[in-house]
Amino acid sequence: MTDPADLSLPEAAAMLRGGTLTSRALTQAVLDRIAARNPRLHAFTHIAADALTQAERADTLLAAGDPGPLCGLPIAVKDLIDVAGQPATSGSRVLAGRIANTDAPAVARLRAQGAVLIGKVATYEFAMVGPDLTLPDPPARNPWNPAHITGGSSSGSAAAVAGGLVRLAIGTDTGGSIRSPAAYSGCVGLKPTYDRVSRSGAFPLSPSFDHIGPLAATVEEAALALDAMTEGKWRPASARIGQPITGLKIAYARDWFADDPQATPALIRAMDEAASTISLLGAQITLVTLPNYAPHEAAASVILHAEALEEHRTLIRDHASDYGRPTLQCLAFGAAIDPEDLAKAREAQTRLTAEMLQAMDGYDLILTATTLTPALPFSAFDGEKAVWTPMRTIAFNLTGQPALSLPAGFENGLPLGLQLIARHGDEDLLCAAGHAFERATDHSVQRPNP
């Protein structure tokens, strides 16, 4: 018999509605899974004391008529996002002991539908840089090789999903913090269009770039989760799941990674194979030259660091000694940015967003890499100097476009990820293409040894 913890969200939902599975039994199976695997992965930092009570409440809702597609399903939440009654420390000694009084709006929408908020998962300190071994919670470890990072800052979200502890976790993405951990850990990460999901109730890093979104075992599960958290009138991300992608026009931004000496040969091969697979599915793949990535990264870095410092000024004044060294170093960059620098960066943001959308003229999606290498080992972070992992993600925080990362292959037993990007509001096209690729390959069904 299949362990309930291994059921996909649609499979579990069907059984819950059909009466062949209870949320209490499913939640207990997930709790057992966490107890068995979390000591190795350090994904969870807190387990909800009322998890089974939440599940029993969901069973009551199911018996009365399901209020939502995620009713009764266990979901983990990054410890940057408020869940009422659960710790909300943002992975830092600065906020040690803080308990959230209310749910973040995105979490409230999940709770209202009967989802079981099973616990909090690890984050890099205040969603900045890491891993930092000096912090109260040990950093999450990569399920494919615990000697390697998961990436950040949604590190615990990725480890929990890729390690099979849960099927779905909620994370945040300011420069790639959903997508890079998904790529490094071999799961799906979906950054929605800017402002599609309320950012309220999540500790801000850079309000101009912050996004809340799902990390999941499959594209369909990520799409369902995004729909559940979405506010306002947006086309459902799951609307085209399972539909053919014949005729979809995709711009293949190969030069964004293949011309970079940091890109590994295995990554380049995996991306070319992915483009070929998507073409065989009926999409039209065209090599394109996008606007240079470097100006996007430069402008975004200025805005991000300036805004981050503003968010932390009071806390630094009162609690500087409680911050981890890497976080303080990151915040120090903001102090070197003057108002003129910030104004120029915001002007560049407007210009670069227009240029990116113009470059997409005639295309539905962009295809490129998520990260240029597999996950680095923890040993790379032993020194005093900051280590930057090469990614192709922050450009789409700058432009606010939705972006999806999903598994594309492996290098030395570690996952590689591809990235699809759409115009604002086109998450349905994004998820349709991602789901089609996922179904045509076996990358997403491979799982690490427990």
Residue 332 token pair: 């120090």
| High-pLDDT (> 70) share of the chain, % | 99
pLDDT at position 13, please? Answer: 97
Phi-psi region of 362 (alpha: psi -120 to 50; beta: other; left: phi over 0): left
Residues 357, 258 contacting (CB under 8 angstroms) = no
Given the residues 177, 198, 208, 444, select the one marked as catalytic.
177
Looking at the DSSP assignment, which residues form a beta bridge with residue 202?
81
Encode pLDDT of 400-427 as tens digits: 999 999 999 999 999 999 999 999 999 9
What's the whole-model pTM score?
0.97
Reply yes or no on whether 78 is catalytic.
yes
Encode pLDDT of 241-281 as tens digits: 999 999 999 999 999 999 999 999 999 999 999 999 999 99
Encode pLDDT of 335-359 as tens digits: 999 999 999 999 999 999 999 999 9
Residues 441, 291 contacting (CB under 8 angstroms) = no
Residue among 65, 75, 63 nearest 22 (CA): 63
Domain boundaries, the chain: 7-294+342-440
Strand ranges inside 224-307, DSSP E: 249-252, 284-287
Encode pLDDT of 27-49 as tens digits: 999 999 999 999 999 999 999 99
Residue among 145, 169, 173, 147 nearest 158 (CA): 169
Residue among 435, 406, 442 nearest 185 (CA): 406
Reply yes or no on whether 92 is catalytic.
no
Q: Is the confidence at residue 385, as pLDDT, over 90?
A: no
- CA-based R_g, the chain, Å: 20
Q: Which residue did the predictor score with more confidence, 129 or 1?
A: 129
pLDDT at position 386, please? Answer: 62
pLDDT at position 383, please? Answer: 65
Cα 396 from Cα 449, distance rounded (Å): 33
Q: How confident is the model at residue 134 (pLDDT cuts 50, 70, 90)?
A: confident
Give the CATH number of domain 7-294+342-440: 3.90.1300.10
pLDDT at position 68, please? Answer: 86
Given the residues 23, 92, 153, 444, select the one marked as catalytic.
153
- Least confident range from 54-68, 112-126, 303-317, 352-366: namely 54-68
Reply yes or no on whether 180 is catalytic.
no
Helix (H) or strand (E) holding 171, with range, is: strand 168-173
